[in-house]
């Protein structure tokens, strides 16, 4: 066979295997079901809304379609979990499967218009609905919208009726060309701040017992990975927005530090992507409520597992993420077996941030160098020794955030971590206090690789 034909043959075989894997993971039968049942779902909803123009809602005419919609929804829920119905321009999607309609005879695009009256572009149902609940939903959708705050009012109405499992989305549109595209040059800070809002949204949904949706998180993580290729430990290990709640800052810190460790370990970008998403969701269990109360810390890992397990569809990232959530506090030498790589990485990042993050009114539990030194003693016991070494190599003797008194009497804060092996103990710092105790007039960098030296690490309480 000619070499060129070899190329074709190899490509065909490789593609065949790739698609077979994708197919087996996605389940064609499921795909067909979603398309068929999703079509019924959208049509029935559209039909019910149309009927409200002709009949009062207590009319018997609604009986059958309501029951049918309940049945169809139940079926979709069984295979998909949360059912998302999204109207974008003149198209309707059910869980990202575009619903096909005979455009000559059906005007299903009018469904979008009906929802749009309430400034709604999509509806996500996280739980199956009973007939009474469906009637209430239809009633609410058929009602006159509240001027100025239609969607909020509608959502509140649903929540008050115990239907908080229904989530209303604003109108959608296709982002047009010319709008800002994702570029690797976007400032890290921009990406960080966007990460916060994406994580916010994700956790909000989880707190409301909705299905986790990792895709937007993954997109952000990919951008973080691109943006942090040349960013130092200082940037990654610093909190960039103190307005964020502690929990949010912790999530972002753990994610950034985990990516730093993963990169130092030489993990491929695709693996880093999965690691980053795992980092974003690692503590999801603490946002879970059981009978109205927060889950005890000891069970937050299994609570997170329960929550994230509800996401449907096989994906290797999901498997690794779930393992990470349940194992990320497990010691390296656990009798249950060595935790997975992601869990071991996040364990280090997680504990480090727990020990060193600023707590309102108290400061950090430990100074950064102290925390690192104590964690270092646990290499091989609590922590993976190699991963811990990689982490220590990046953070340096005086990790970012360390408050240091210098020989000159000045007080500085480390901002760089270890830039090179030679400067492991000589970070770049920002001047906080001159030797006479006064504040510097302007931002001043003190590079300990060139000048001065550390005489004391200041502990929490010294400051």
Partner 1 sequence: MSSSDESLWDLGEEAGPAPTPPPPGAVPSPAPVPLEPSGGNLPEERPVAPRTPPQPDESADEEVVGTSELGRAASDALVTLGRAARSYLLYEPDNEAIRKFLDDMKTTFWAFFERFGVLRLTIRPWEMVLGSEVVYLNRDRERSLAFRLFRDGVRRLVIHPDVPWEEITQLLGILSIRYVGIRQQEDDIVTLLWKAGFKKIEVDSVEGFVPEDDETEVVDDAMMADLAGDTGAGDGGDGGGDEGGGTSMSMLYGGVAEGFDVPWPEFTQRIPLAHTPVDEAALVELQSEESNVALPSQCVRLLREILEVACNPVEPLDLEDAVPILREIRDFLLSEGLLSSLLEVMQIIQALPFREKDLERRAELLEAFTDERALSRIIRSVPAGVREVPAELMALVGTIPGNRVSLLLSILRSERSNTARWVTRSLLVSVGAGHQLDLSRAVRESEPPVAADLLQVVAALDPERGRRLALEIVVDADVEVQLQALTIIEHSTYDQAVGQRLARLLEAGSVEIRLRSLRMLETHRERWAFHTVAARLQGSGGRDLENRELDALALAMVRIWEERALHTFLGWIKPKGLLERVKLAQVGLKRAAVTGLSAIPGEQAEEYIRLVAKTANEELHSHCMQCLVRHRRLGMKVDDGT
Q: Answer yes or no whether residue 108 interacts with partner 1 by CB under 8 A.
A: no
Q: What single string gives the DSSP state of each residue in 370-420? A: HHHHHHHTTBTTTB-HHHHHHHHHHH-SS-TT-EEEETTS-EEEE-S--SS
Least distance CB 47 / partner 1 (angstroms): 23
Neighbours of 127 (CB within 10 A): 17
For residues 409-448, which are near partner 1 according to CB under 8 A? 418, 421, 424
Q: Answer yes or no whether residue 203 interacts with partner 1 by CB under 8 A.
A: yes
Among 139, 193, 194, 389, binds partner 1 (CB under 8 A): 389
- Part of the chain binding partner 1 (CB under 8 A), chosen from 39-47, 333-341, 402-410, 426-434: 333-341
Tokens encoding 33? 């079901």
**For residue 129, what is the DSSP state?**
-
Least distance CB 71 / partner 1 (angstroms): 19
Tokens encoding 273? 């992507």
Least distance CB 410 / partner 1 (angstroms): 23
Indicate the residue among 96 and 451 with the shorter CB distance to partner 1. Answer: 96
Indicate the residue among 235 and 327 with the shorter CB distance to partner 1. Answer: 327
First to last CA, the chain: 76
Burial of 144 (0-12, 13-18, 19+ CB in 10 A): exposed
Name the β-bridge partners of 86.
Answer: 93, 122
**For residue 182, what is the DSSP state?**
P
For residues 46-75, which are near partner 1 according to CB under 8 A? none
Q: Answer yes or no whether residue 268 interacts with partner 1 by CB under 8 A.
A: yes
Neighbours of 453 (CB within 10 A): 11
- Part of the chain binding partner 1 (CB under 8 A), chosen from 171-179, 186-194, 409-417, 440-448: 171-179
For residues 293-312, which are near partner 1 according to CB under 8 A? 294, 297, 299, 302, 305-306, 309-312
Among 42, 76, 85, 86, binds partner 1 (CB under 8 A): 86
Residues in contact with 161: Cβ distance below 8 Å, sequence separation at least 6, in sequence order:
133, 136
Least distance CB 380 / partner 1 (angstroms): 11
- Part of the chain binding partner 1 (CB under 8 A), chosen from 39-47, 144-152, 404-412, 426-434: 144-152
Report whether 278 contacts 342 (CB < 8 A).
yes
Name the β-bridge partners of 430.
Answer: 413, 445
Least distance CB 247 / partner 1 (angstroms): 5
Report whether 457 contacts 429 (CB < 8 A).
no
Q: Answer yes or no whether residue 323 interacts with partner 1 by CB under 8 A.
A: yes
C-alpha 402/C-alpha 284 separation (Å) is: 29
Size of the site for partner 1 (CB under 8 A): 150
């Amino acid at each position: 066979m000619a070499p060129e034909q070899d190329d074709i043959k190899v490509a065909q075989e490789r593609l065949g295997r790739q698609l077979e894997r994708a197919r087996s993971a996605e389940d064609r039968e499921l795909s067909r079901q979603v398309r068929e049942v999703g079509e019924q779902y959208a049509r029935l909803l559209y039909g019910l809304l149309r009927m409200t123009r002709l009949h009062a809602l207590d009319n018997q005419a609604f009986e059958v379609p309501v029951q049918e919609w309940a049945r169809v929804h139940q079926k979709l829920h069984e295979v998909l979990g949360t059912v998302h119905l999204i109207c974008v321009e003149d198209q309707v999607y059910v869980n990202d499967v575009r619903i096909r309609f005979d455009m000559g005879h059906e005007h299903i695009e009018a469904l979008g218009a009906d929802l749009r009256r309430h400034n709604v572009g999509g509806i996500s149902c996280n739980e199956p609905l009973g007939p009474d609940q469906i009637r209430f939903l239809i009633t609410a959708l058929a009602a006159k919208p509240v001027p100025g705050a239609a969607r909020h009012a509608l959502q509140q109405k649903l929540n008050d009726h115990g239907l908080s499992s229904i989530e209303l989305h604003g109108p959608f549109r296709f982002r047009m060309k010319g709008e800002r595209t994702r570029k690797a040059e976007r400032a890290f800070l921009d990406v960080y701040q966007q990460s916060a809002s994406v994580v916010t949204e994700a956790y909000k949904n989880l707190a409301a017992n909705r299905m986790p949706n990792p895709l937007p998180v993954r997109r952000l993580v990919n951008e973080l990975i691109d943006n942090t290729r040349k960013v130092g430990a200082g940037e990654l290990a610093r909190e960039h927005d103190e307005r964020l709640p502690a929990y949010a800052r912790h999530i972002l810190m753990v994610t950034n530090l985990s990516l730093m460790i993963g990169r130092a370990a030489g993990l491929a970008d695709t693996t880093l992507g999965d690691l980053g998403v795992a980092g974003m969701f690692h503590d999801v269990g603490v946002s879970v409520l059981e009978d109205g109360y927060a889950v005890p810390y000891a069970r937050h890992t299994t609570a997170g597992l329960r929550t994230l397990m509800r996401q449907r569809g096989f994906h290797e990232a999901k498997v690794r993420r779930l393992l990470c959530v349940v194992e990320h506090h497990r010691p390296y030498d656990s009798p249950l077996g060595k935790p997975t790589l992601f869990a071991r990485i996040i364990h280090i990042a997680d504990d480090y941030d727990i020990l060193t993050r600023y707590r309102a009114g108290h400061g950090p539990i430990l100074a950064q160098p102290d925390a690192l030194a104590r964690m270092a003693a646990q290499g091989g016991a609590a922590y993976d020794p190699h991963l811990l070494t990689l982490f220590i190599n990046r953070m340096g003797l005086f990790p970012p955030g360390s408050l240091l008194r210098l020989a000159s009497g000045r007080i500085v804060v480390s901002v760089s971590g270890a830039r090179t092996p030679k400067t492991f103990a000589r970070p770049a710092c920002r001047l906080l206090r001159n030797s006479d105790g006064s504040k510097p007039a302007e931002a001043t960098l003190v590079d300990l690789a060139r000048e001065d030296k550390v005489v004391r690490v200041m502990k929490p309480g010294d400051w």
